[in-house]
Amino acid sequence: MAAPAISPRGATGSPTLGQRIYQKLSDVPAWALWILVLVWTIPSLGLFVNSFRGRDAQRNDAFWNIISEQDATFENYRSVLSAGATNDLTDSLITSFAIAVPATIIPIAFAAFAAYAFAWIDFKGREWFFIATIALLAIPLQVALIPLLQLYNGGAAFSVPFTDKTLTMLPFFDLSGSAEAVWLTHTGFAMPFSIFLLHNYISQLPREIFESARIDGADHFTTFWRLVVPLSIPALASFAIFQFLWTWNDYLIANTMLDASSSLPTTVRIANLAGDFDNTDHLLTAAAFIQAFVPLTVFFGLQRYFVRGLLAGSVKG
Amino acid sequence: MLKILGTITFIALVILALRAWAKLFKADQSKFLKVSAFIAAIVVLFALAGVEFGDLGDAFSGEKFERVLDMLGTVLISVLACIGLWVVSNKLLGTLRFGWDIFVGIMGALLGALLFGVLRGNRAVFPIFADRDPIELFSGTGALGNLEWPIAGALVFGIGGYAMRRFGRRELRLLAAVVTAVVTGYLLAHYLKPWHRPNNIDWISTVITTIVGAGAGAVVRIRRDDQIPGILMGAGFGFAVGAWMLSPWQGIDSPWVAAMVPPLLVAVGVAWPANPSSRIVGYFENRARATVFLAPAMIFLLISLVIPAIRTGLLSFKDRRSTEWVGVENYNTLFSDPKSFDVSGWTNLFTSNLFILAVVTLLAGVLVGFLNGWRRNGSPGFESTPASTSGMLFAAFLFVSASMAVLRGTFFNNLWWVVTVVSVATVAGLLIAVLADRATIGEKAAKSLIFMPMAISFVGASIVWRLQYQARPPSKNQTGVLNAVWVGLGRLGQSGTARIVVLLVLAVIIAALVARAIPRARQGLPFVGSAITIIVLGYLFFRLADRRIGGYAINAAGEFSPEPVLFLTNQPFNNVFLMIIMIWMQTGFAMVILSAAIKAVPQELIESAKVDGATESQSFYNVTLPQIIPTLGVVVTTMIVQVTKVYDIVKVAGQGGRFGNNVLANEMFEQSFAFGNIGLGWAIPVVLFLTVLPVMIYNIRRMQKAQL
């Protein structure tokens, strides 16, 4: 972007090779940047390299010794990927998908509906309603975790005040310990933030298109389906990616809602492995890498959308 | 069933992907190649993995694949149910087109199904056919047995609703209402289970509730010209409350009065007014659309955030089994337990290194400001510069860290997390964003690499950093990178030639920096960056010259032995090493957003500042920074949400918070599940909420302003 302050240009106007190299080397920001990048990458690199080292090698010296030892092995990966083995992770990968996919699609859809209503449907008290929704961002999700767990465990009953009567509000659906409990929880908790972000984007769509749609006789449903959704695809897609990473990587909610008898997602499995110090420590590297593989693929494959969605509306211009 | 649906989804997904792929080929061939290469890479990777681990090769046939299909089926059902409901509601509103009567009929059917379904769900009624038909059609506990009541409700209310709105003449509408109400009342009275029958109506209560209900109905419709419907419906609901809720439920006889009166009142109230004009229908449709669009999100918010939060708030005043009200005892326990709230060490604050450093930085910042004011105006006076402001902010940050290091306990740990992670990650993200903006090489690659940890889970990151922090006995090789470096530095300090060489190199670098900084200082250009670098390097130089660097110990006999740092157990700074994990992850997030914000600042503004003689840092401070403040708000808010949730890192890398590094989320978890003290488990998140509240209110208000 910005050229260095001193540009050693020759009389002809085009720098020689030497000058160009000097220019690159004297680029202090680049140096500083790449030093930081190095610092940032070493931890992941260490994990990645160690995942190819055996148990003893991992225990006895640091990861860079792989160069001198030359004893790379797939043994760790084999242990965590072979079906039926005690530390098999493939089942939990499926569970992770079963949680993360609905926990991505459903909140995005619901938040888009709500964002559209807040942005383009006129109704009384819209502003206050919106502020109240956004204010829910302030509630840390821990506040709601245990009540939700109780709800999944026993349904909801409402004892009518001053009487001895109880109304069943929500029947007991036997959700405790299931993937559904986890993604339902994710859906609720994701709501304020996703409404906020999508509202930023949807409210900045040009007003004219809505007016011309109304003149053509389209109702809100048609407008939403035919105009807003196609126009917001970048924001929706990117926020979907963001939400996917969050839910795929979540540990707190899954660990609260699920118990040992349920099929556990990868994060919980790995954390359990990590608690089991001596026996499986060397498998953690491979397990953590496999767990990170899906989000990393999503991330590197769809990087551009990812960034754009987060920026929806927060950056003007 | 699940498997069939899963298979269908699977095939649909494959077809969709292929179609998208083919479309891309037509639209943009270079992108098509890139995407294909990406897919090919993944396929090859999987193929290699399949060859290497035979089991993966069978993934598409065995039991695993069936689980995948199951999963896809469940996902399909969930998504279709959620989104389908919404689409159906919209389509229902669309029936307004066909006329008000049809719409009311359909809505009535839905309402009836819901109402009768709830009655059945509460086990308040017998199966309809149970006492008539020996075959017991539909009855029983199966799905169909539970469906007969909703179906009956849908029929009665649907036909009734349609009839009530079909006729223009009021008498006919009222007739339809009476018929509907009588049928409803008959069903209710006849099929209620005996222990749900309000036979002995408590007339005093009922009359009171009826009058109150009627009054409320009148008030709600006070602006309309006709208040009879409101009064009638209100009275109906009031009567129902009195007769059903405030009266005892026992009896053999069918409760004809209690069952007949409320439906009659309500139905007559509904049927009374004339059909609405098209203007009112339009108005109604708008409101109904808003409801339909908002309802899914609001229902989820209500069920999973609002109600639980209120419940938590209330129950935090109950004892450990949530039975007795105990007032603020849980909070007392929390704040009197030194494990969660310990201010006894505050006197150590003034002697801690961090505090002294904070004071020094503060003084330096003030001094720079004064010097600047002096240079600008010729007379002593404070005028802030980027250097003085950042110095003072840094001093504040150091001061908070120093206080948190002496004020111990879970509560302060959490506060420390929020302050440190949010500020450091934001500043580091900003720094990297600026650097990347200026750098000529590899901006995109560098940003991707910094951003990458964001895609890793907290659990994964904890495992990554456990490797870095590992400390082994001094006699053994250090496997953790940080300890390997630290112990290596210790060795270097005790070594011979290597130390001299490093000292020489350091001296050269320092000399070069000084040589660069002095002329800049003379010209009045900023030199603070160089000055800080010189101070830090000079400090290292003298430590190394003094052989006092790195991790080492010398015993009484004068023998050297390496001494690793126990990063994760040394209190209180093990907290900081855990925070570094989160900083490592969150910096990328801050960087990406801030980087885009910086790029969005109009170039002309910066150019004109430069024309006016502003230096690079001045133009950043005075032009760019104010422009990206709203974005900073978004970043900070998002991060606070993330940091308050922190739990995974402490659990996995911090060994469950056993070494003075517990955080509230983990404490809550332990109190509720491990120690069985639910009362305390309720109180902790409330405290957490109250702590974050001021910041969040501030941020939300600012975001609100930035929006408008």
| Portion 185-214 of A in contact with B at CB < 8 A | 185, 187-189, 191-193, 195-196, 200, 203
- Comparing CB atoms, the residue among B245, B309, B455 nearest residue A144 is B309
How far is residue B1's CA from residue B10's CA, in Å, rounded to a whole number? 14
Q: Flag whether pLDDT at B54 surpasses 60.
A: no
pLDDT per residue as tens digits for the range A205-238: 888 888 888 888 888 888 898 889 998 888 888 8
CB of B690 within 8 Å of a chain A CB? The answer is no
Predicted local confidence at residue B428, as pLDDT: 93
3-state per-residue secondary structure call for A132-201: HHHHHHHCCCHHHHHHHHHHHHHCEEEECCCCCCEEEEECCCCCCCCHHHHHHHHHHHHHHHHHHHHHHH
Percentage with pLDDT > 70 across chain A:
81
Q: Flag whether pLDDT at B218 surpasses 90.
A: no
Predicted local confidence at residue A114, as pLDDT: 94
- Tell me if B312 and A27 make a contact (CB, 8 A cut-off): no
Q: Flag whether pLDDT at B425 surpasses 90.
A: yes
Mean pLDDT of B518-545: 81
CB of B90 within 8 Å of a chain A CB? The answer is yes
Q: Flag whether pLDDT at B139 surpasses 50.
A: no
Q: Flag whether pLDDT at B663 surpasses 60.
A: yes
- Residue appearing with tokens 């559904």: A180
How far is residue A57's CA from residue B142's CA, in Å, rounded to a whole number? 60
Predicted local confidence at residue B50, as pLDDT: 67
Res. A169 pLDDT band, cuts 50 70 90: low
How far is residue B417's CA from residue B285's CA, in Å, rounded to a whole number? 49
Q: List chain A residues with CB under 8 Å of B6.
A: none
How far is residue B425's CA from residue B423's CA, in Å, rounded to a whole number? 6
Q: List chain A residues with CB under 8 Å of B605.
A: none
CB of B465 within 8 Å of a chain A CB? The answer is yes
Q: List chain B residues with CB under 8 Å of A220.
A: 289, 293
Predicted local confidence at residue B159, as pLDDT: 92
- Tell me if B78 and A24 make a contact (CB, 8 A cut-off): no
Shortest CA gap A209–chain B (Å): 18
Mean pLDDT of all residues belonging to chain B: 83
- The candidate with the shortest Cα–Cα distance to B266, out of B302, B240, B298, B305, is B240
CB of B522 within 8 Å of a chain A CB? The answer is no
Res. A13 pLDDT band, cuts 50 70 90: low
How far is residue B465's CA from residue B487's CA, in Å, rounded to a whole number? 18
Whether the Cβ atoms of residue A1 and residue B438 lie closer than 8 Å to each other: yes
Q: Flag whether pLDDT at B182 surpasses 90.
A: yes
The count of other CB atoms within 10 Å of the CB of residue A6 is 8
Q: List chain A residues with CB under 8 Å of B703.
A: 134, 196
How far is residue B219's CA from residue B477's CA, in Å, rounded to a whole number? 81
Decide which of B99 and B583 is more confident. Answer: B583
Res. A110 pLDDT band, cuts 50 70 90: very high
Predicted local confidence at residue B526, as pLDDT: 66
Predicted local confidence at residue B136, as pLDDT: 47
Predicted local confidence at residue A3, as pLDDT: 43
- Tell me if B457 and A249 make a contact (CB, 8 A cut-off): yes
Q: Flag whether pLDDT at B10 surpasses 90.
A: no
Q: Flag whether pLDDT at B614 surpasses 60.
A: yes
Q: Flag whether pLDDT at B704 surpasses 80.
A: no
Percentage with pLDDT > 70 across chain B:
94
pLDDT per residue as tens digits for the range B105-126: 998 999 998 888 888 777 777 7
Predicted local confidence at residue B83, as pLDDT: 87
Question: Which has the minimum average pLDDT: B57-66, B360-369, B435-444, B648-657?
Answer: B57-66
Residue A20 tokens, joined:
């160009």
pLDDT per residue as tens digits for the range B16-50: 888 888 888 888 888 888 888 888 888 888 777 76
Predicted local confidence at residue B109, as pLDDT: 92
Decide which of B26 and A166 is more confident. Answer: B26
Residue B5 tokens, joined:
């649906």
Mean pLDDT of A70-91: 76
Predicted local confidence at residue A160, as pLDDT: 66
- Comparing CB atoms, the residue among A137, A271, A292 nearest residue B696 is A137
Shortest CA gap A245–chain B (Å): 6
Predicted local confidence at residue B56, as pLDDT: 53
- Tell me if B64 and A94 make a contact (CB, 8 A cut-off): yes
- Comparing CB atoms, the residue among B301, B589, B686 nearest residue A136 is B301
- Tell me if B438 and A42 make a contact (CB, 8 A cut-off): no
CB of B64 within 8 Å of a chain A CB? The answer is yes
pLDDT per residue as tens digits for the range B678-700: 888 888 888 878 877 887 777 77
* Sequence-ordered list of residues with C-beta below 8 angstroms from that of B601, at least 6 positions apart, any chain: B623, B624, B627, B628
The interface pTM score, or ipTM, of the predicted complex is: 0.84
Res. B490 pLDDT band, cuts 50 70 90: confident
- Comparing CB atoms, the residue among B82, B303, B592 nearest residue A188 is B303
- Tell me if A114 and B707 make a contact (CB, 8 A cut-off): no
Which amino acid is located at B187 in the chain? L
- Tell me if B669 and A2 make a contact (CB, 8 A cut-off): no
Total-model pTM: 0.81
Mean pLDDT of B429-454: 85
Q: List chain A residues with CB under 8 Å of B700.
A: 131, 134-135, 137-138
- The candidate with the shortest Cα–Cα distance to B636, out of B363, B423, B319, B335, is B423
Predicted local confidence at residue A167, as pLDDT: 67
How far is residue A289's CA from residue B460's CA, in Å, rounded to a whole number? 8
Q: Flag whether pLDDT at A267 surpasses 50.
A: yes
Predicted local confidence at residue A168, as pLDDT: 66
Nearest chain B residue to A150 by CA distance is B308
Interface test with A, best of B2, B78, B585, B601 (most A CBs within 10 A): B78
Res. A78 pLDDT band, cuts 50 70 90: confident
